[in-house]
Amino acid sequence: MSEKLNLNNSFKLYEEALNLIPGAILGIRRPYNFIEGEYPIFFESAKGGKVIDVDGNEYIDMLCAYGPIIIGHREEEIDNVVIEQIRNKGFCMSLTQQVQNKLAKKLRELIPCCEKLVLMKMGTDATTAAVRVARAYTKRSKIISCGYHGWYDAFSEVHGIEAGIPKKLFEDFYEFEFNNLEEVEKLFKQNKDEIAGIMVNPIHTPGGREVEMPKPGFLEGLRELANEHNALLIYDEIRTGFRVDMGGAQKLFGVIPDLAAFGKAMGNGYPISTLVGKKEFMDVLVEKVFLSSTFFPNSLAQIASLKTIEILEREKILSDIRQKGNQFAKQIKESIQDNRIPCIYSGEPWMPYITFTPDNDYLYRKLREEFYRQLIRRRVFLQPFHHGYICYRHTAMDIEFAANMIDEALQEAKKLL
């Protein structure tokens, strides 16, 4: 059994942060989202496919900053064009710089539904704008959605006045189950001529549960229902965009939405997102819909995105990631089978995730905790409640090492059975 890591500096910084920041760290990066006392809380640096914490422990980074790192950490070619922009031109001005048009043209070339677009910063910016556009175009208020779409009031994972979100701010939102067309049909019948749009992650990535691919006919069915009821079909491609295909999951599956939100991998860590869509719908942003931010036109992330896309295409990076992901999945599935442990591997080849099958005695919770405890001690950084990612700079040795350590961690967890 591997020994517990030295995390003294992480714990000290955490105690200090508790007096400075509510919860010390924001959101899903808090210690209770990992294995408390076993995972680092602060990182110091990163390079390629690895990260180093503040105590000097180095890990294979298979969380990739929750998705933005598609090529690798500290990519010099990307950072250099950003530094050049800072030194020679500047990046925060009262008017937009011309890189906006260059990036927009490239996105329109790659993404099937993209006739026009707006550039923003965060994924929630793009999904929130999508809701506003759908409502303005259809002149309807209700949205039906499936999956996580950011921290916007109606999409928040926690609701209620105690969470700062009164009922009236989410009462026009209705959730449906992924791959359940009957439920979507029922919602349209119950809310006849009131639904502005359907928002869905084309690949379902729920927290704490396995990644789910669309069943044959599901996305096609959503497309037909949207057309039938004059509602907009909206894809949240924040995770799938520039990872499963250069044109997103819509290109991969061949079912084209009216609007789509992209982010994460399109900037390799630089904060950028975009809402893209058909001209007819996007043009409500000309006068009818208000969308503005001091930092949306900031050119640094746009410069980084343009270079990221160039490298993705030039090096055929998505093919490389798919190959590594398939090999990784093959090894992990063999380990699960050999160890005969009640867990599931999902998300191949792009978003690897190991989840444990619930049981009435809650043994799965103990198995999950022990598995991820043993894994982090073996210096593989994955998250118990969120799928991982594979990046270009993960070498064949990194993938092999991670697979071997997962096998060892499964063997240790199996002792609890």
Q: Residue 146 forms beta bridges with which residues?
A: 200
Q: In what order do the strands lie in the sheet with 195-200?
A: 116-120, 273-277, 259-262, 232-237, 195-200, 142-146, 173-175
Concatenating the DSSP letter of every residue in 257-280 gives: -SEEEE-GGGGTTS--EEEEE-HH
pLDDT above 80: residue 72: yes
pLDDT-based confidence at residue 1 (cuts at 50, 70, 90): low
Average pLDDT over residues 59-79: 98
Query: Whose structure tokens read 């422990």?
Result: 57
Contact 392, 321 (CB under 8 A): yes
Q: Does domain 8-73+316-414 have CATH number 3.90.1150.10?
A: yes
pLDDT-based confidence at residue 169 (cuts at 50, 70, 90): confident
pLDDT above 70: residue 358: yes
Same fold, 8-73+316-414 and 76-314: no
pLDDT one-digit tens code per residue, 224-271 = 999 999 999 999 999 999 999 999 999 999 999 999 999 999 999 999
Topology, domain 76-314: Aspartate Aminotransferase; domain 2 (3.40.640)
pLDDT above 90: residue 172: yes
pLDDT-based confidence at residue 168 (cuts at 50, 70, 90): confident
9, with CB counted inside 10 A (0-12, 13-18, 19+), is middle
Quote the percentage of the chain above a pLDDT of 90.
Answer: 94
pLDDT above 80: residue 138: yes
Selected residue with higher pLDDT from 168 and 87: 87
Report domain extents, the chain.
8-73+316-414, 76-314
Average pLDDT over residues 289-306: 96
Tell me the pTM.
0.96
pLDDT-based confidence at residue 170 (cuts at 50, 70, 90): confident
- Among the listed residues 97, 94, 75, 95, the one whose alpha carbon sits nearest the alpha carbon of residue 86: 97
pLDDT one-digit tens code per residue, 5-36 = 999 999 999 999 999 999 999 989 999 999 99
